[in-house]
Structure 1
Amino acid sequence: MKAVYLFLVTFLALASSCAFASDPSPLQDFCVAINDTKTTGAVFVNGNFCKDPKLASANDFFFHGLKEANTSNRFGSTATLLTVNDIPGINTLGTTIARIDYAPRGLNPLHFHPRGSEILLVVEGTLFAGFVTSNPENRLFTKILNKGDVFVFPVGLIHFQLNVGKNKAVAVSGFSSQNPGRTDVANAVFGSNPSISQEVLTKGFQVDRNIIEYLQKQFQMYNSMIEMKHDSY
């Protein structure tokens, strides 16, 4: 009987730890991240060292100028995510923010965030936004969003935004993680390095091999251009 009871307690503990896995709740007011591990009083917490709280200042929780980004790319949109490197004070707080700029007809392509839900506020313009639920329903939720409208994208679900207006659009997103991550679906599938087997993709998408070859070339070429651009900085 004791063995059964112990097994049940262990199982429930493991199940609950999996079900509620997310950014851990902080055990202190804040934990301002620092890169200098030799700083007096530095403590290693959740991927970053923290400075002595007595040495923290308002600037550790401040970022100036989340400015308009260049949208002259193949999608016509750019998402600028602020990380702990931009705002050291968000370390361990389980949140961050991003600005998304859209050219007319610009698309924030199909993607998902594996570690955080997203709440989006339209600042300017009109967006067509949506997300798809998981198997087996694969249900699509969409909405036309105007200035001042808010939409939520649940963690891990594929979503998108398209600027359907004639002018530029701007949105601001908040996340329930300080490191929500991002996986662009098409780029991950067709632009991976090394490439996914064409047999796998042909059977998986039920299309001709020539289509797969074309898509792989497109995304691999795009990724190479992005790498060259970054290397030139």
Structure 2
Amino acid sequence: MLEELKEKVLQANLELPKRNLVIYTWGNVSAIDREQGLVVIKPSGVPYEKLKPSDLPVIDLNGNKVEGDLNPSSDTATHLVLYKAFPEIGGVVHTHSPWCTKWAQACRAIPTFGTTHADYFYGDIPCTRPLTPLEIATEYEKNTGDVIVETFKNLNPNDIPGVVVHSHGPFNWGKDPMKAVENAVIMEEIAKLAFYTQSLSPHAEQMDHHLLDKHFLRKHGKNAYYGQKSQKVNN
């Protein structure tokens, strides 16, 4: 079942240690088959180097295991909330990458200081509010997803494909699992740049909104002109 999707999810998970986003088993990637309403996700606590496609559990959107012998990631409920709330995404990744996690532990959004940020995220990368004691005690992982969705009530998740969860760490998403990982890699670099910017200049101002618009929209707007058009080139 979903063998091609399992292979994509496996390769995306293997990118996490390669890209220095995780150590040990500190992260997970999933992907969804929208037609079938099924999610493939990393199994809980299994080292990346030991993963095989057949190890990856298949889960429905209610959290029921449809296929697989291993338990799914403990963060599965968070992934499911995001898939339900953000219908255009196809992959989700969670890590404890150090630079993004610094901002999460400081309970701060990642400010928009420069064009590197603006090329990929259309504004500040938000930090969620803290979960209440009741939210932590009951359905913690689902409530983590809910607080992310709450944070994006007035934001477009396609324009800002990531968040830092208060006192926890980053979640990212994308059109497919590898794009979600790419967004996680980029957000980690942006978090590092922002940290050093504030270290060098504690009162650094955020970038001009005209420059933010230019850099984001030339890549992602309806009249985007960055890169090459997908067409066959005749020699």
TM-score interval w.r.t. the shorter chain? under 0.3
Q: TM-score, normalization: structure 2?
A: 0.24
More strand by proportion, 1 or 2? 1
Q: TM-score, normalization: structure 1?
A: 0.24
Structure number with greater CO (CA < 8 Å, separation at least 6) is: 2
Q: Which has the larger Rg?
A: 1
More helix by proportion, 1 or 2? 2
